[in-house]
């Protein structure tokens, strides 16, 4: 399973926030923002800050998706 933050980016667009504004309003670091942009894992604390800033639930910003790598390769 892989992590996807596509929902976060769609929600940010709906709230008219660019990534810098999201970082500033949620209080996350630039390195956390970079990890989010690469669909890498981040701390639960960072996700909590984002959810508080956007007034949403964790399922509104992150989801698990099937890996696109084939096991036969």
Distance CA 1, CA 16 (A): 30
Q: What is the pTM of this model?
A: 0.86
**The length of the chain, given as a count of residues:** 73
Distance CA 64, CA 6 (A): 11
Distance CA 16, CA 60 (A): 16
Q: Which domain holds residue 12?
A: 2-65
Exposed/middle/buried for residue 63 (C-beta within 10 Å: 0-12, 13-18, 19+): middle
Instruction: Examine residue 71 and state whether it is found in any structural domain, yes or no.
Output: no
Task: Give the number of domains in the chain.
Answer: 1
Instruction: Examine residue 17 and state whether it is found in any structural domain, yes or no.
Output: yes
Instruction: Examine residue 72 and state whether it is found in any structural domain, yes or no.
Output: no
Instruction: Examine residue 25 and state whether it is found in any structural domain, yes or no.
Output: yes
- Give the CATH number for residue 40: 1.10.260.40
Tell me the per-residue pLDDT of 19-60, one tens digit each, with 9 for 90 and over. 999 999 999 999 999 999 999 999 999 999 999 999 999 999
Instruction: Examine residue 55 and state whether it is found in any structural domain, yes or no.
Output: yes
With contact defined as beta carbons under 8 Å apart, do 39 and 2 qualify? yes
């Amino acid at each position: 399973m892989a992590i996807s933050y596509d929902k976060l980016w769609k929600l940010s667009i709906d709230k008219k926030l660019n990534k810098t504004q999201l970082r500033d309003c949620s209080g996350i670091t630039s390195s956390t923002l970079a990890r989010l942009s690469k669909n890498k894992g981040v701390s639960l604390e960072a996700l909590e800050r984002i959810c508080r800033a956007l007034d949403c639930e964790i399922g509104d910003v992150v989801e698990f998706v099937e890996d696109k790598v084939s096991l036969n390769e």
